[in-house]
């Protein structure tokens, strides 16, 4: 999007839509009188009558009829009470602005930045929320309809009306745009049908990303995985005609390759459940079983753009989980890359197997801190619903630092316990070191806890995004489908991390 760094006035700006924040206590806002006077319409009366709504997240669009204005429409964004407005609500309000702009095909917008300022939220932050919200809200899912005549509409230009330092405002908008673009990229990966996004295609995407941002990249193919003895990802892949891939990206932002934060993603491009086959209804949507991988790639994109002085590694284990004469079965015993053996009790508990090898590989490649992300269990949805990511950790301080980032991005994360008794049940097998499905209770804990068996003492956070990675219906910040959850939180976490957190 073209960011105009000249600051126009109400009378000089030529734009499809001028975006204005309105609240109950509007009166003392700078420039308000000039605004009212210039547009000459009975705006204050309309606010009083409720025709322009000030309730939080209410959107009101009106045409401009003044002959001197080069603004075609005013779009009012309700902020409720400015004193209690939270950044999350502001971001969501901008999400609805994005949806409106998308629907009405507005390509040039002007943000009256100062009209969104509150005591708590400075204009320099509000403009980040604006870019994030508008661009995430305006996202649409790619379709393959032959009859589609709806042209893609991109937001082409943004102007700012502000008293603030324009460089700072423009830089804030750019950061928000970088975040939203990465989220939208992750969404598009999740939304891609399984026949179009195979493991090798996902690997090609990662290679492109690496080229764009100068990451070190390594793609291990099936023969190499066999050579290395990655028996867990290979077991999941056994029923498939598609080759698996182990994808590694490395970004070195610090002088030495130390204190490396490793993101590890589940990249199951389609999960049939294998011989422990899913129900007809359960199969639909399983193209999204690579949401963890998408989150890793999205976060790496932001890191590539913003280039923090930290070291970050992304590891993605990718395969589909299919059925054939060669597929793995319940009762099989497999040997992981770590050497640990696993008794397979359920072939639908495949994500933890893929992650077992991916986590071991990330450690072997030098990750000192681990965050794994996966659409791992239906159990997390039973426990927490569709709007919360479930978490486990072996290091409370590390997790608490992560929670701060999640509070900033508004992506809700809730920690569950992982007890010695849980671990005992994961380790219970007569014939192997571990079993991959300890029971019909506590699915999320067993799934994540299983991954923890391969982590050792490395500080680790497990994020089960099975509920949050795919939205069942439209929401303020985006459409039904892939959400790109955790992209923003992972990147924010890396940006905010201090040496203190890494002790």
Burial class (CB in 10 A: 0-12, 13-18, 19+), 420: exposed
SS3 of residue 182 by DSSP: helix
Q: Which one, 133 or 379, has the nearer CB to ligand BES?
A: 379
Q: Which one, 341 or 346, has the nearer CB to ligand BES?
A: 346
Of 106, 352, 388, 423, which residue is the catalytic one? Answer: 352
User: From the CB of 340, what's the least distance to Zn ion, in Å?
Assistant: 20
Instruction: Give the number of other CB atoms < 10 A from CB of residue 175.
Output: 18
Q: Which one, 250 or 287, has the nearer CB to ligand BES?
A: 287
Q: Which one, 177 or 350, has the nearer CB to ligand BES?
A: 350
The partner in contact with residue 476, picked from ligand BES, Zn ion, none with C-beta cut-offs of 5 to 8 angstroms by kind, is none
User: CA–CA separation, 465 vs 26, rounded Å?
Assistant: 40
| Parallel, antiparallel or unpaired: strands 470-471 and 2-3 | unpaired
SS3 of residue 48 by DSSP: helix
Give the range of 90-98, 283-291, 384-392, 492-500 binding Zn ion by CB under 5 A. 283-291
Q: Is 352 a catalytic residue?
A: yes
Q: Which one, 308 or 378, has the nearer CB to ligand BES?
A: 378
The partner in contact with residue 229, picked from Zn ion, ligand BES, none with C-beta cut-offs of 5 to 8 angstroms by kind, is none
351 near Zn ion, rule: CB under 5 A: yes
Instruction: Give the number of other CB atoms < 10 A from CB of residue 341.
Output: 15
Q: Per-residue string for binding with Zn ion, 102-141, x by CB under 5 A?
A: ----------------------------------------
262 near Zn ion, rule: CB under 5 A: no
Of 61, 201, 278, 425, which residue is the catalytic one? Answer: 278
User: From the CB of 286, what's the least distance to Zn ion, in Å?
Assistant: 7
Q: Could you list the residues that contact ligand BES (CB under 6 A)?
A: 271, 273, 289, 346, 348-351, 375-379, 437, 443, 466
First to last CA, the chain: 40
Q: Is 278 a catalytic residue?
A: yes
Residues with Cβ < 8 Å from 56, sequence gap 6 or more? 78, 79, 80, 81, 85, 89, 93
User: From the CB of 300, what's the least distance to ligand BES, in Å?
Assistant: 22
How far lies 41's CA from each of 45, 52, 64, 67, 161, in Å? 9, 12, 8, 12, 19
348 near Zn ion, rule: CB under 5 A: yes
Full DSSP string of 246-282: EEEEEEE-SSSS-SEEEEEEEEEEEE--TTSPPPHHH
Quick check: 378 and 466 in contact, CB under 8 A? yes
271 near Zn ion, rule: CB under 5 A: yes
- Hey, which residues are catalytic here? 278, 352
Positions that interact with Zn ion (CB under 5 A) = 268, 271, 289, 348, 350-351
């Amino acid at each position: 999007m073209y960011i105009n760094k000249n600051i126009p006035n109400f009378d000089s700006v030529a734009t499809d839509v001028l975006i204005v924040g309105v609240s109950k206590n509007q009166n003392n806002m700078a420039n308000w009188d000039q605004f009212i006077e210039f547009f000459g319409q009975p705006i204050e009366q309309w606010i009083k009558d409720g025709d322009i709504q000030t309730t939080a997240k209410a959107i009101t669009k009106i045409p401009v009829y003044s002959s001197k204005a080069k603004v075609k429409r005013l779009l009012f964004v309700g902020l409720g009470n400015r004193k209690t407005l939270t950044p999350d609500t502001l971001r969501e309000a901008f999400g609805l602005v994005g949806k409106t702009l998308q629907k009405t095909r507005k390509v040039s917008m002007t943000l009256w930045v100062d009209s969104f300022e509150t005591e708590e939220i400075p204009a320099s932050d509000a403009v980040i929320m604006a870019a994030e919200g508008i661009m995430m809200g305006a996202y649409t899912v790619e379709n393959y309809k032959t009859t589609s005549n709806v042209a893609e509409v991109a937001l082409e230009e943004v102007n700012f009306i502000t008293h603030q330092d324009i460089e700072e405002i423009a830089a804030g908008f750019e950061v928000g745009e970088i975040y939203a673009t990465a989220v939208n990229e992750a969404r598009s990966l999740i939304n891609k049908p399984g026949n179009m996004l195979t493991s090798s295609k996902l690997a090609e995407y990662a290679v492109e990303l690496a080229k764009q941002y100068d990451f070190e990249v390594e793609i291990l193919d099936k023969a190499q995985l066999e050579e290395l003895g990655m028996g867990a990802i290979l077991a999941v892949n056994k029923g498939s005609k598609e080759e698996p891939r182990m994808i590694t990206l490395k970004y070195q932002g610090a002088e030495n390759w130390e204190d490396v934060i490793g993101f590890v993603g589940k990249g199951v491009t389609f999960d049939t459940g294998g011989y422990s086959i899913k129900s007809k209804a359960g199969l639909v949507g399983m193209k999204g079983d690579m949401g963890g991988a998408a989150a890793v790639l999205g976060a790496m994109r932001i890191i590539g753009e913003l280039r923090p002085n930290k070291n970050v590694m992304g590891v993605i284990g990718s395969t589909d989980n299919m059925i054939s004469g060669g597929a793995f079965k319940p009762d099989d015993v497999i040997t992981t890359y770590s050497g640990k053996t696993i008794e397979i009790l359920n072939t639908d508990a495949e994500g933890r197997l893929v992650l077992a090898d991916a986590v071991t590989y990330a450690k072997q490649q030098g990750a000192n801190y681990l965050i794994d992300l996966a659409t791992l269990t239906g159990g997390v949805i039973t426990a927490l619903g569709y709007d919360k990511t479930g978490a486990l950790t072996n290091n409370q301080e590390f997790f608490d630092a992560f929670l701060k980032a999640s509070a900033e991005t508004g992506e809700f994360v809730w920690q569950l316990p992982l007890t010695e008794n849980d671990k005992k049940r994961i380790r219970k097998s007569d014939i192997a070191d571990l079993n991959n499905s300890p029971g019909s209770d506590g699915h999320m804990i067993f799934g994540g806890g299983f991954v923890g068996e391969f982590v050792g003492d490395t500080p680790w956070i497990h994020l089960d995004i099975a509920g949050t990675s795919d939205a069942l219906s439209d929401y303020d910040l985006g459409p039904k489908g892939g959400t790109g959850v955790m992209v923003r939180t992972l990147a924010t976490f890396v940006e905010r991390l201090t040496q203190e957190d890494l002790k």
